[in-house]
Structure 1
Amino acid sequence: MTEPRLITLPTADHGPVTLDEPSWCRGHADHRPDTYRADLTHIGAEHRLTFNGVELFRLMLAQTPHAERTSREVCAYVEETGYTGSLTPVGLYDLAAALDHAADHMREFADQLATVLDGGEGR
């Protein structure tokens, strides 16, 4: 396992905060200095699950090490896009197949999360 990198981020309530940045974190290039310490979050690479080129879900590793109201552990963060559409029977079967594929990808992502939680490397 690669040792975490240290990163220092300015916060609105605690000034500069130094964190261990896990190897799977994509960095903090979009960090805003008016962020509160409790909201500092490590985010991994996005995995986009699509149907006919339209995004259905995003999956990513996430950790909020100073969270006050949620877990501080590494977790899978899932965003659902709110896809809507009018489909023919064939289109509905195609969507079902895409959801089956998305479920397979989510299971693979769960395996990746388990590896990270066991001290291994994430992607």
Structure 2
Amino acid sequence: MTTPRTVTVRTIDQGDVTMTCPPWCDGHADDTLPVHLVDVAHVGRHQEIKLRGVLLWTTALVQYPYATDDARHDVRVYAEQDWHADSYTAAGLVELADTLAVHAERLRTLADRLPELQEETGQ
């Protein structure tokens, strides 16, 4: 069994805080600037959803272990939609639908894993 990884983050209101990272954690919202303790977040690896090289969405696992809202203690998937607008031919629209279907399946798989990740995190 590997030793859990810890990280020390600088906070505005609590000074330096050392915390244990869940196995999926790839970093923190901003490792360089101090933040309030409630804003400290574990962030997983970013997954990009692209169509013809154009970024449509970015997703990542997130967890706010010190949030005042207990629901934010749960592991969640952060999803950010990048600005994208286009006009599609019938073939282009099918390509868009196919791209979204592939990524929708990946998101469903991730949704199925969230309870397991939550359990690993101990929340």
Q: Which band: TM-score by shorter chain?
A: 0.7 to 0.9
Structure 2 partner of 1:90: 91
TM-score (norm 1): 0.84
Amino acid at match of 2:8: T
5+ residue gaps, structure 2, are none
**CA separation of 1:39/1:113 partners in 2, compared to 1, >3 Å: closer, same or farther?**
same
Q: Distance in 1 between matches of 2:113 and 2:61?
A: 9
Q: CA RMSD in A?
A: 2.1
Q: Distance in 2 between matches of 1:79 and 1:3?
A: 32
Which structure 1 residue ranges, 5 or more long, are not aligned?
Answer: none
The structure showing larger relative contact order (alpha-carbon pairs under 8 Å, at least 6 residues apart) is: 1
In structure 2, C-alpha distance between the alignment counterparts of 1:44 and 1:34, rounded to whole Å:
20
Residue 34 of structure 1: how far off its partner (Å): 2.4
User: Are the equivalent residues in 1 in contact too, given 2:49–2:58 (CA < 8 A)?
Assistant: yes
For 2:6 and 2:32, how far apart are their aligned partners in 1?
Answer: 18
- Name the amino acid aligned to 1:62: V
Structure 1 or 2: more helix by fraction: 2
Q: Could you tell me the percent identity over the aligned residues?
A: 35
Deviation string 1:67-112 (CA, Å, 9 cap, x unpaired) is: 1245111111111113211111111111111111111111122123
